Amino acid sequence: DAKTTQPPSMDCAEGRAANLPCNHSTISGNEYVYWYRQIHSQGPQYIIHGLKNNETNEMASLIITEDRKSSTLILPHATLRDTAVYYCIVRVANDYKLSFGAGTTVTVRA
Amino acid sequence: NAGVTQTPKFQVLKTGQSMTLQCAQDMNHEYMSWYRQDPGMGLRLIHYSVGAGITDQGEVPNGYNVSRSTTEDFPLRLLSAAPSQTSVYFCASSYRLGQTNTGELFFGEGSRLTVL
């Protein structure tokens, strides 16, 4: 059973913010929201994660709704190198395992 | 640090042949795992290990064996290769849960396997 729902694809203009939505309506209180991306055929790369508060790091911002049923990953100034598949993953706090869905293919256009 | 190193990067096998995909990490990670990724799909967990001497099955374990004799190495064995095992294989590792703030998985560059 898929724990997250993401749009299959989206386009973004270079230099603009990219807002990637994710629905996780069945998330439990001990589950985190993780985001990874996979550029071309490389191994996935960690971006950011959060539990209930909004988070920001050097790569992106993560906005989690108050009811925790959805979240948005924000790439503030998208570049061509941000073209990738982005995965939203719900992970139990005490579990190493990550379950990857199909993700969102983001294409940044010049 | 070399990170997570996978070998070989490319391999072509004939049906029925056996082989081992190697994975090594130099970060003293407790957790190691193998995923496969078929074209246009997400990654699926094959096997994982939470420490030396401990292994467990993931989502798609059939046709694969693993062992974890050291902290650094986690080889994946294909016992009798089948065309359905044509895929890209990724090894990933992480620190012990709670040891870092992120709990992120570090991935290797992948091993591309074709079974004819």
Q: Whole-angstrom Cα distance, residue B116 to residue B110? A: 19
Tens-place pLDDT, residues B75-103: 999 999 999 999 999 999 998 877 666 77
pLDDT for residue A20:
98
For A59-100, the pLDDT digits (tens) are 999 999 999 999 999 999 999 999 999 999 999 888 888 889
Give me the numbers of helices (H) and strands (E) for chain B, helices first please: 0, 11
Select the more confidently predicted residue: A41 or B4.
B4
Rounded Cα distance, B32 and B44, in Å: 14
Using a CB-CB distance cutoff of 8 angstroms, which residues of chain B are in contact with residue A46?
102, 104-106
**What distance in Å separates residue A102's CA from the closest CA in chain B?**
5
Q: Please, which residues have CB within 8 angstroms of residue A55's CB and are 6 or more apart in sequence?
A: A48, A49, A61, A62
Distance from CA of A41 to the nearest CA of B (A): 8
B77 Cβ under 8 Å from any chain A Cβ: no
* C-alpha to C-alpha distance for B65 and B76, rounded to whole angstroms: 6
Which is more confidently placed, B79 or B41? B79
Percent of chain B with pLDDT over 90: 86
pLDDT at B1: 67
A13 in contact with chain B, both atoms CB, cutoff 8 A: no
The predicted structure's pLDDT at residue B4: 97
| B31 → closest Cβ in A42, A44, A96 | A96
**Nearest-by-CA chain A residue for B59:** A99
Chain B from 9 to 28: CB within 8 A of any A CB: none
Taking contacts as CB-CB distances below 8 angstroms, the residues of chain B near A49 are: 102-104
Nearest to B42 among A42, A87, A91 (CB): A87
Check whether B106 has a pLDDT greater than 90.
Answer: yes
A79 compared with B39, residue with greater pLDDT = A79
